[in-house]
Amino acid sequence: MLHRLVINEEFDRDAAITPQIYRILKERIIKNDLPPGSRLSEPEVAQQYDISRQPVRETFIKLAEEGLVIVRPQRKTLVTKIDLPTVLQSRFIREAVEADIVALLAQAGDPALIRELRRQLANQSEVAQVSRPDFINEDQRFHRTLAEAAGKDVAWKFLERINSQMDRVRFLSLRQFPAEQLVEEHSRVVDQIERGDASTAALAMRAHLKRLIGDLPQIAGEHADFFDRYDQKLIDDA
Amino acid sequence: MLHRLVINEEFDRDAAITPQIYRILKERIIKNDLPPGSRLSEPEVAQQYDISRQPVRETFIKLAEEGLVIVRPQRKTLVTKIDLPTVLQSRFIREAVEADIVALLAQAGDPALIRELRRQLANQSEVAQVSRPDFINEDQRFHRTLAEAAGKDVAWKFLERINSQMDRVRFLSLRQFPAEQLVEEHSRVVDQIERGDASTAALAMRAHLKRLIGDLPQIAGEHADFFDRYDQKLIDDA
DNA sequence: ACTTGTTGACTTGTATGGAAGAATGTAAGA
DNA sequence: TCTTACATTCTTCCATACAAGTCAACAAGT
């Protein structure tokens, strides 16, 4: 199989194996290359990548901690389905935290930060037309910049960890999402930070982050078998 | 050593070993029985509990994910020091999320919930006089009840995971903290929820959670070697 | 036809041997 | 005295064998 060979060549045999196989499997799951419900087996994966079971096993443990797989002892290991309550409540946490972050920034009022953010906004407008993955990168960078400027770098790392489940949804929505509108919303947040209006800035961020689940019903409709505990009512409440 | 024997007797040899050794080591770290900076070694721990290195190794991996130990490949494994930015920003996240939770509850206005909370408040007042560990349990239960009533059970599980670092601090403060005052603050939160005043309820919760770091300077002063990146300025800002 | 027991082929869990990197101490040399 | 090379002995990392639980197929009995 060509696929196997290509992946194997990515392997650096002189580096530690576990981090590599971890990164590979995590990416395959988040990008739905290994769709929800897929069965994984330690010896099978080990054989595919020509390594021993040990690094694979350690990887399974880490993925299980993140909720990306579930290990049923003596039975099997499965890629978890996308759990709707987890997705919605991850978003809820993110909104609460980022709203407070921009409120802090509005109170602080750092002109250098505003300049940096405006620079990023211009960049976002450019790549929005071109490449979706590039825009996603820029989007992440924007939010990370806000967190770090507020001195909440550790908090941001924590948010990144609970984002895995939301990322899986993001990679399911195939059609073009309204990148220009997202940039516009980013811009409003920056405006309010510059004005020093903490509560309005927070509201702008909240409105922006509501979008993360905007097309969830449609996505879930197209990939019903990827979801677990799906309930339209939960989305309406949120 | 008597200590060893007692611990060994806790082991159930017919159950899976890894979860047991994980729970044991985690508790020893959080309760500062294994103080920050302690050196851990796979074969040594394995020998202590008369098990093989494999479950110990898997436990190290999990503890490292939670930031309780740090594994330096080919060098050594250490119990991490209590990282001040991590503690402060964990508290920051908790405040943001729980403020939004009580705001939701104030809007919902569920009389049954109010009754349950008042019941718990009475209970808290009782145990506050008696046993500190019991009060801590009741405190946890109060906050969990709020989260679950708002339909944020998954979010609460996330918060629990980042609480380990704050728990380590809690077990360092030996002297009696003002349990009665905490109950009083809980009571204010419930009052505002009952009134249906979302923003005031949120503020009451924020004020309450500020306390979590109230005696941090004193604790850090008494156990300076347990802390990493200690900076009084960080506390003042927060 | 249905139930039950057994066998065998899976799965993950555990134990253990050895490989490779890193730190420490020591001795030889300048 | 100081530096450097090397050997020793740690550590974690990886590979592999075996143990034990689980499930499915199948055969024997009712």
Residue A2: pLDDT band with limits 50, 70, 90: very low
Picking from A34, A57, A80, the residue at the C-terminal end of a domain is A80
pLDDT at B194 over 70: yes
CB B88 within 8 A of CB B48: no
Q: Do A202 and A90 share a structural domain?
A: yes
For residue A76, give the nearest of A34, A42, A104 by alpha carbon: A42
Does B122 share its domain with B226? yes
Closest nucleotide C1' to the C-alpha of B39: D11
Residues B88 and B203 in one domain: yes
**pLDDT, tens digit (0-9, with 9 covering 90-100), for A203-216:** 999 999 998 888 88
Q: Is the pLDDT of residue B28 over 80?
A: yes
pLDDT category of residue B81 using cuts at 50, 70 and 90:
very high
**Bridge partners of B228?**
B83
Q: Based on the domain organization, do B101 and B218 belong to the same domain?
A: yes
**pLDDT for res B175:** 65
Instruction: Specify the 3-state DSSP secondary structure of A228.
Output: strand
- Please name the residue of chain A whose CA is at the shortest distance from the CA of residue B163: A158
Least confident of A153-157, B4-8, B81-85, B182-186: B4-8
Quick check: A86 and B154 CB within 8 A? yes
**A6 min Cα distance to partner chain B (Å):** 28
Using the predicted structure, report yes or no on whether residue B216 has a pLDDT greater than 70.
Answer: yes
How confident is the model over A23-31, as a mean pLDDT? 95
A101 with A147: CB under 8 angstroms?
yes
How confident is the model at residue B213, as a pLDDT?
85
pLDDT higher than 60, residue A37: yes
Residue A10: is its pLDDT beyond 80? no
Give A111 or B128, the one with higher predicted confidence: A111
Q: Min CA distance, B210 vs chain A (Å)?
A: 14
Place of tokens 């109950």: B183
Report, as an integer, the average pLDDT of B182-188: 97
Count of pairs with CB atoms under 8 A, one residue in A, one in B: 64
How far is the alpha carbon of A8 from chain B, nearest alpha carbon, in Å? 24
Tell me, yes or no, whether A89 and A57 share the same domain.
no
d(CA B67, CA A93): 21
- In angstroms, the CA A164 to CA B83 distance is 25
Q: What is the pLDDT of chain B when averaged over all its residues? A: 91
CATH of the domain at A72: 1.10.10.10
**pLDDT in the model for residue B177:** 75
Q: Assign A38 a pLDDT band (cuts: 50, 70, 90).
A: very high
Domain containing residue A29:
2-80
> Is A60:A50 a contact under the CB 8 Å cutoff?
no
Q: Which of A28, A62, A80 is the last residue of a domain?
A: A80
Restricting to B residues 23-62, those with a Cβ less than 8 Å away from any Cβ of A are 58, 61-62
Q: pLDDT-derived band of residue A231, with 50, 70 and 90 as boundaries?
A: confident
Please tell me whether residues B10 and B119 are part of one structural domain. no
Closest listed residue to residue B97, CA positions, set A162, A89, A107, A200 = A89
pLDDT at res. B231 = 86
Q: What is the DSSP string of chain B?
A: -HHHHHHHHH--TTS-HHHHHHHHHHHHHHTTSS-TT-EE-HHHHHHHHT--HHHHHHHHHHHHHTTSEEEETTTEEEEPPEEHHHHHHHHHHHHHHHHHHHHHHHHH--HHHHHHHHHHHHHHHHHHHH-HHHHHHHHHHHHHHHHHHTT-HHHHHHHHHHTHHHHHHHTT--SPP-HHHHHHHHHHHHHHHHHT-HHHHHHHHHHHHHGGGTTHHHHHHHTGGGEES--HHHHHH-
Q: State mean pLDDT over B102-131.
A: 96
Nearest-nucleotide field for B61 (CA, C1'): D12
**Which pLDDT band holds residue B10 (cuts at 50, 70, 90)?**
low
Counting the structural domains of chain B, the total is: 2
CATH number of residue A198's parent domain = 1.20.120.530
Within this chain, do residues B66 and B7 fall inside the same structural domain, yes or no?
yes
CA–C1' span, A53 to D19, in Å? Answer: 16
Give pLDDT, residue A5. Answer: 37
- Predicted local confidence at residue B14, as pLDDT: 79
* Chain C bases having any atom below 7 Å from a protein CB: 10-17, 20-23
pLDDT above 50 for A44 = yes
Residue A175's pLDDT is what? 65
Q: What is the bridge-based pairing of β-strands A82-83 and A227-228?
A: parallel
| Global ipTM | 0.89
Enclosing H/E stretch for A82:
strand A82-83
Same domain, A179 and A107: yes
Based on the fold, state whether residues A51 and A107 are members of the same structural domain: no
Is B71's Cβ below 8 Å from some Cβ in A? no
> What mean pLDDT is predicted for residues A56-74?
95
Shared domain check, A30 and A130: no
Q: Footprint of strand C, using CB within 7 A?
A: A 14, 40-44, 53-54, 57, 60, 71-77; B 16-18, 51-55, 58, 74-75
Same structural domain, B94 and B105: yes
Interface test with B, best of A54, A92, A146, A233 (most B CBs within 10 A): A92
Which of A50, A80, A110 corresponds to the end of one domain? A80
Residues A67 and A90 in one domain: no
pLDDT band at A176 (very low <50, low <70, confident <90, very high): low
Tell me what pLDDT residue A238 has. 74
